[in-house]
Amino acid sequence: MSGRQIGDVILDLQHISLRFGGVKALTDISFDVREHEVRAIIGPNGAGKSSMLNVINGVYHPQEGRITFRGEERRKMEPHMAAMQGISRTFQNIALFKGMTVLDNVMTGRITKMKATFIEQALFFGRAHREEMEHRKKVEEVIDFLEIQHIRKTPVGRLPYGLQKRVELARALAAEPSMLLLDEPMAGMNVEEKQDMCRFILDVNDQFGTTIVLIEHDMGVVMDISDRVVVLDYGKKIGDGTPDEVRSNEEVIRAYLGTGH
Amino acid sequence: MQFFFEVLIGGLLSGVMYSFIALGFVLIYKASGVFNFAQGAMVFFAALTFVGIMEMGVPFWLALILAFGAMVLLGIATEKIVLRPLVNQPPIALFMATIGLTFFVEGLAQAMWGASVRGLDLGIQDEPIGWILEATDIGVSKFDLFAAGVAAVLVTALALFFQYTRVGRALRAVADDHQAALSIGIPLQNIWRIVWAVAGFVALVAGLLWGARNGVQFALVFTALKALPVLILGGFTSVPGAIVGGLIIGSSEKLAEVYLGSYVGGGIDSWFPYVLALAFLLVRPEGLFGEKHIDRV
Amino acid sequence: MLYREAGQFKASYAADQQIFPIRQDRVGVLLLLAVAFVVVPMFASEYWLKGILIQFLVFSLAALGLNILTGYAGQLSLGSAAFMAVGAFASYNFMLRIDGMPLLLAFALGGLMAALVGIAFGLPSLRIKGFYLAVATLAAQFFIVWILTKVSWFSNDSSSGVITAQDMVIFGYKFASPQAKYLLVLAIVAIMALMAKNMARSSVGRAWMAVRDMDVAAEVIGIRIMYSKLLAFAVSSFYCGVAGALYAYAYLGTVEPEGFNLDLSFKILFMIIIGGVGSIMGSFLGAAFIVLLPIFLDVLVQDVFTGMLPPSIASNLQLMVFGGLIIFFLIVEPHGLARLWQIAKEKLRLWPFPH
């Protein structure tokens, strides 16, 4: 990890609590994310990891707590605002647009950057045409980067699982995000696919300096690639620190690692 | 005030008719998640079949049984030919398939029995009940009251059927979770067939009552559409919702027609239920008795 | 000339993103347009022009409108005919009440009025989906037909809301002959179809499809759901509105609100199901199918099975065949005729050596 320099705090979450009716999904959670780092969130099933990501990019709105992103404090995010400010994400259960081709899916990642009005697009003239070409170029770079050139015209519904995950990453990367939220990017993959995905994540972090927040179950992977780790259990934070610190944290061992995996 | 009550009661009782149709929808939606747009067409088919059989000189009870048999056949055929091949398709595809089914059933009914308007006499007159009229000066139709009675019996019977029979229990399990029901060995397809048969029976009852009131004619299909706003009010999965929704739609459209309609040229009952349902949706999208849904990602 | 893309290499993204990337398709479309604009008006009989082709084009445009909303943006509507009615009556009133109103502008304004009404009835789509929305669009269907019938101002105080379309005059030329009417409708439909195709392959179209396929994910990548849905309602209603105006002016001449009833809405829905949901060409194929099928059935009943079937059976047979076909297509080919056409093309591309 050569040129990468971990910077200041870019995202700060303070005392976040989230409830669904009577069910407490998250209770008083605070942690921060520094620029250019790889930050992992781990924890057993139902610990509230996905909910945490959903709070960060505004899909869920916490009842309590505050979020500071790039120095700007807010009570809650709205999803498209988060996207505009450079937060992209992938989902645990792939959320691609099944009826569209790989190329079109990745192109949607650049939608916040397209300025032509629908009338210009209907006439396919001037700005609309120019934009379409410029963004296509950018998207092709991402497609090259993730090595999915051969399937660019294939409808995503027909692709195998591992490739779909990669296309989803491509869509997130197409937005040139400053922060990337990855929800179990390697779940359900075989060893080889996992290695590829690890390589891509590290390359993204290294080459573009993208801050990465990821949820992952594979402990080996998490310990290998992340700079700092947050551990959640039953919606509460039970550990936070470098992989080594977390590994030796007794509460974490009891709740999670101690149970074998 | 008397006039108000007369309108209100008339509206409530005609609302019972909408409830009948909505009830069929709810049964099918609960058990199979299919939004059966064709329920209205089934009502028409049932009424026309019954009248058609009667015209051949068959006695009332036999005609009723034969018409019921026809509805069961229709239900089974629908399950086999339309629904089974579409399992796991998006709900909206199934919905559109039932629109296709609507056209098919309407065409089939008229091809078999002809398109002319028939009368249907159940032996109960649509006239005010004498002693209520004398005592309170409010006209309550004998026929409407009879229909309300039938509705009460039908709903009670259905409730008992769901609560206490084996099939009923299986049905509730299927309604709750298809996969889980399948995994403990409940034969899903049998259950669906039974539900379609029951919905067919409800359609037959509705068809007889509607037919006796307004004649058996194609316009029935449009009246049946008003069961849709009823469902939105009551929620797609709730039997009490279908009843209460029907009463609200029936009474409010009559009141609106009488008290507002005169200012705007009348005929507002053609759209009032839909707009009411629409306004309601904006406030409470899950219906009166429906369950709230949280999207998970 | 064989249908091959061998030897056609694309050296730029512009070339790859052309509207028809394969050369044979480009030639084919140009040929089709040439036939439609030149050959058809020369040889088609008056019956074909007036009775079938104009109707086909108008319905294609309406189906295109519904396809934008339902096929691309995923919002089911059962009220397309009502938006056609708005377009027809609004165009009529603009022509009637504003002196010197140019015909084409009146059509465009009619479309815009339909778009506004479409947005109003599309507002519930921000909170509700699927069946619920379908029922909400029924409210538009019944309410609009009712108000056009009851408020006599809309039809210039004619009885039961009947309007008679004014003559179609553009720059002093009166479009009166079937050929002229046909060409006018064809030109409008061709341009609007091209615009629809352009939207479908641009970011607005991708935003619609994203909302259709998975709205939560669409929002997360920065698509404004509300804007996209309302825009779909607006554009779709605009198309339906213009189709309605053409229906009144070029096809029927005289029309009443009841002419835009629920049956017509269903007919348009059937066109896109049979033709192909989410396909521009499917809208045309579906419209052709639905326009031609009743004629075919009539011929079948009257000429082929002469006397064997009672004449009343024709209309019921039509209902049954329509209903049956909808179910058939949903089960066997949910993407409709357009998909079948595509499969045929792919076969042809490999023919005669498929392996």
pLDDT in tens, C134-181: 888 999 999 999 999 989 899 998 877 899 999 999 998 999 999 999
Per the structure block, which two tokens stand in for B190? Answer: 């049998």
Q: Rounded to whole angstroms, how far apart are CA atoms A224 and A192?
A: 16
pLDDT of residue B296: 55
Give per-residue pLDDT as tens, A189-199: 888 989 999 99
Chain C touched by B274 (CB under 8 Å): yes
pLDDT of residue C355: 61
Q: Is residue B275 part of a domain?
A: no
Residue of B nearest to C318 (CA): B107
Angle at B102 between CA C301 and CA B145, to 5 degrees: 125
Per the structure block, which two tokens stand in for C23? Answer: 């050369």
Q: Mean of the pLDDT values across residues A139-159?
A: 92
Contacting A with CB below 8 Å, chain C residues are 12-14, 16-17, 19, 195-196, 198-199, 202-207, 209-210, 212-214, 216-225, 231, 235, 278
For residue C128, pLDDT beyond 90: no
**Domain at A1-86+177-261: CATH code:** 3.40.50.300
Looking from the CA of A114 toward its CB, the CA atoms found within 13 Å total 33
Q: Is residue B266 part of a domain?
A: no
Residue type, A240: D
Give per-residue pLDDT as tens, B213-242: 888 888 888 888 888 899 888 888 888 888
Question: pTM of the full predicted structure?
Answer: 0.91
Burial (Cβ within 10 Å: 0-12, 13-18, ≥19) of residue B224: buried
Could B228 and C142 be called an inter-chain contact, meaning their C-beta atoms sit closer than 8 Å? no
> What DSSP designation does C15 have?
H
Domain region containing B216: 2-221
Q: Mean of the pLDDT values across residues C349-353?
A: 74
For residue B295, pLDDT beyond 50: yes
CB atoms within 10 A of CB C299: 11
Q: Cα A229 to chain center, whole Å?
A: 15
Q: Is residue B226 part of a domain?
A: no
Q: Is residue B297 part of a domain?
A: no
CA-wise closest residue to B45 among B213, B285, B165, B211: B211
ipTM score for this prediction: 0.89
Share of chain A above pLDDT 90, in %: 57
For residue C124, pLDDT beyond 50: yes
Helix C80-97 and helix C54-66: axis angle, to 10°?
A: 120
Q: Rounded to whole angstroms, how far apart are CA atoms A41 and A56?
A: 12
Which chain C residues contact residue B267 at CB under 8 A? 146, 149-150
Angle at B193 between CA B189 and CA B198, to 5 degrees: 145
Residue of B nearest to A53 (CA): B297
C239, C147 in Cβ contact below 8 A? no
C61, C88 in Cβ contact below 8 A? no
Q: Rounded to whole angstroms, how far apart are CA atoms C284 and C186?
A: 12
Q: Using CB atoms, which residue from B99, B111, B281 is nearest to C136?
A: B281
pLDDT of residue A45: 83
> What DSSP designation does B292 have?
P
Q: Rounded to whole angstroms, how far apart are CA atoms B46 and B280?
A: 32
What lies within 8 Å, CB to CB, of A77 at 6+ separation is: A55, A56, A57, A58, A67, A69
Q: Is residue B277 part of a domain?
A: no
Chain C touched by B229 (CB under 8 Å): yes
Q: Provide the number of structural domains found in chain B.
A: 1
Task: Read off the pLDDT band of A2 (50, 70, 90).
Answer: very low
Give per-residue pLDDT as tens, C98-119: 999 999 999 999 999 999 999 9
- Please report, for residues A131, B59, B149, the alpha-carbon distance to residue B214 in angstroms, rounded to integers and kept in the order given: 62, 22, 19
Q: Using CB atoms, which residue from C124, C313, C334 is nearest to B278?
A: C124
pLDDT of residue A260: 46
- Bridge-based pairing of strands A228-233 and A236-241 is antiparallel
Is cis: bond before C352, omega within 30 of 0? yes
What lies within 8 Å, CB to CB, of C298 at 6+ separation is: C314
Q: Is residue B134 part of a domain?
A: yes
Domains identified in chain C and CATH numbers: 45-350 (1.10.3470)
Report the gap between the CA of C307 and the closest CA in chain B (Å).
16
Q: In the predicted model, what is the mean pLDDT of chain C? A: 91
pLDDT of residue A257: 56
Chain C touched by B148 (CB under 8 Å): no
Task: Read off the pLDDT band of A1 (50, 70, 90).
Answer: very low
Which chain A residues contact residue B294 at CB under 8 A? 20
**Nearest 5°: phi and psi at A189?**
-100, 155
3-state secondary structure of B19: helix
Q: Rounded to whole angstroms, how far apart are CA atoms C178 and C111?
A: 23
Could B297 and A92 be called an inter-chain contact, meaning their C-beta atoms sit closer than 8 Å? yes
Residue with tokens 């064989």: C2
Q: Is residue B113 part of a domain?
A: yes
A209, A215 in Cβ contact below 8 A? no
Q: Where are the alpha helices (DSSP H) in chain C?
A: 13-16, 23-34, 40-43, 46-47, 54-66, 80-97, 103-122, 130-150, 178-200, 203-213, 215-220, 225-246, 262-275, 280-299, 313-332, 336-350
pLDDT of residue A115: 86
Could C222 and A118 be called an inter-chain contact, meaning their C-beta atoms sit closer than 8 Å? no
Which chain C residues contact residue A137 at CB under 8 A? 13
Could A111 and C196 be called an inter-chain contact, meaning their C-beta atoms sit closer than 8 Å? no
Residue of C nearest to A93 (CA): C217
Could B103 and C128 be called an inter-chain contact, meaning their C-beta atoms sit closer than 8 Å? no
Could C131 and B35 be called an inter-chain contact, meaning their C-beta atoms sit closer than 8 Å? yes
Helix C262-275 and helix C54-66: axis angle, to 10°?
A: 80
For chain A, the structural domain boundaries read 1-86+177-261, 96-176
Could C150 and B265 be called an inter-chain contact, meaning their C-beta atoms sit closer than 8 Å? yes
Angle at B67 between CA B61 and CA B70, to 5 degrees: 145
Report the gap between the CA of B297 and the closest CA in chain A (Å).
7
Helix %, strand %, coil % of chain B (to 5):
75, 0, 25
3-state secondary structure of C241: helix
